[in-house]
Amino acid sequence: MDNIIDGRLIASKIKEEIREFVRLRKENNKREPMITSILIGKDEGSIYYINSQEKIALSLGCKFKKILLEEDIEEEHLINIIEELNNDEEVDGIIVQLPLPQRLNEKKIVNTISPKKDIDCLTYINQGKLFAGEGEIIPCTPKSVLSLLEKSDVNLEGKNVTVIGRSNIVGKPVAQLMLSKNATVTICHSKTQTLKEITRKADIVIVAIGKPKFLTKEYVKEGAIVIDVGTSSLNGKITGDVDFEEVSKIAKLITKVPGGVGALTTTLLIKNACEALERNENENTNCNGVK
């Protein structure tokens, strides 16, 4: 099908950009980007994700360090580890794998990360900058949605975009990114009435609710673009929020799960670290008065 947006293909192009960035740094005797990822406990999903981060980072020439901590770690100890990483000039990106054990104060811990190294865009400072239209670090999943659309030559200006889902991780920031590109945005959620009427008017539908095959063709007008951010397990298979077999027959463009949004997220996390390194180097150069 020629209407499928291939996330893996787009990710491969971004990976080449990162490899070239790292190659030029080495050529100019500059250090490689360094990412540190912290995992508390033994959540299987988080273990899979941190291993994927490491594999991709190393394959692109970046440095990667895993910090594996026991689930009973004291909150103060964890905060001290993060503060040490904040002060380490060799570390460009810090990731704390979520969710954390319930007894830990997730908001306090996440906001201990230096905003300059918060490559997941989880701190209040970076989220505030994003919603003020001044974001330097863009959260990876929303950034993946935007990248898929832009790399597919979709002009967002003036388009009617409906976002289904209002989470702080995907729904709200992806809506903000669409606004930044001059789209007209509607956010829908579990309390929205006449959902089908709203989505059927949309030029672009972005769905991120974690309900497998929720979005059927009845929700989508013919010729719309559909971006599926959902990831669920259904009958032992990874499945998105969109009934792909149905909707792909009427959509102008559509993403698959897997192979769509998720194929880019980790790559964009690494790219965020590269951009953070370069931005912080430039800031330090300007502060020292050296060109």
Q: Which residues pair with 59 in a beta bridge?
A: none
Shared domain check, 144 and 53: no
Contact 25, 278 (CB under 8 A): no
Cβ neighbours of residue 73 closer than 8 Å, sequence gap 6 or more: 40
Handedness of CA 151, 156, 159, 164 (dihedral sign): positive
Shared domain check, 155 and 79: no
Task: List the chain pLDDT tens, one digit each, 291 residues.
Answer: 799 999 999 999 999 999 999 999 999 999 999 999 999 998 888 898 999 999 999 999 999 999 999 999 999 999 999 999 999 999 999 999 998 999 999 999 999 999 999 999 999 999 999 999 899 999 999 999 999 999 999 999 999 999 999 999 999 999 999 999 999 999 999 999 999 999 999 999 999 999 999 999 999 999 999 999 998 888 888 899 999 999 999 999 999 999 999 999 999 999 999 999 999 998 877 665 544
- In this prediction the pTM is 0.91
Contact 266, 55 (CB under 8 A): no
Shared domain check, 177 and 246: yes
Residue 80 lies inside a defined structural domain of this protein:
yes
Give dist(CA 109, CA 18) in Å, integer: 29
Q: 165 a known binding residue?
A: yes
* Token pair recorded at residue 250: 């009427």
Contact 240, 230 (CB under 8 A): yes
Give dist(CA 270, CA 57) in Å, integer: 6
Q: 166 a known binding residue?
A: yes
Its domain, for residue 48, covers 14-114
Residue 289 lies inside a defined structural domain of this protein:
no
Shared domain check, 168 and 107: no
Give dist(CA 277, CA 281) in Å, integer: 6
- How far is residue 111 from each of residues 86, 96, 103, 160, 169, measured CA to CA in Å? 12, 11, 16, 34, 15
Residue 283 lies inside a defined structural domain of this protein:
no
Shared domain check, 219 and 148: yes
Contact 171, 163 (CB under 8 A): yes
Element (H, E) at 53: helix 44-59
For the chain, percent helix, then strand, then coil, each to nearest 5? Answer: 45, 15, 40
Give dist(CA 89, CA 111) in Å, integer: 19
Shared domain check, 174 and 85: no
Q: Given this model, what pLDDT does residue 233 score?
A: 82
Please provide the size of the chain in residues: 291
Residue 68 lies inside a defined structural domain of this protein:
yes
Give dist(CA 4, CA 251) in Å, integer: 9
Give dist(CA 141, CA 177) in Å, integer: 11
Q: Tell me the CATH number at 244.
A: 3.40.50.720
Shared domain check, 169 and 244: yes
Among 1, 10, 21, smallest CA distance to 264 is for 10
Handedness of CA 282, 284, 287, 290 (dihedral sign): negative
Shared domain check, 198 and 93: no
Q: 25 a known binding residue?
A: no
Q: Which residues pair with 163 in a beta bridge?
A: 187, 206
Contact 243, 250 (CB under 8 A): no
The two counts, helices (H) then strands (E), for the chain are: 10, 11
Residue 123 lies inside a defined structural domain of this protein:
no
Tell the residue number behind the tokens 């981060």, with chain if given. 53
| Domain limit, last residue, from 97, 114, 131 | 114
Shared domain check, 186 and 230: yes
Residue 267 lies inside a defined structural domain of this protein:
no
Q: 231 a known binding residue?
A: yes
Residue 122 lies inside a defined structural domain of this protein:
no
Residue 285 lies inside a defined structural domain of this protein:
no
Q: Tell me the CATH number at 86.
A: 3.40.50.10860
DSSP 217: G
Q: Given this model, what pLDDT does residue 291 score?
A: 43
Shared domain check, 151 and 101: no
- How far is residue 144 from each of residues 68, 73, 81, 287, measured CA to CA in Å? 27, 33, 29, 33
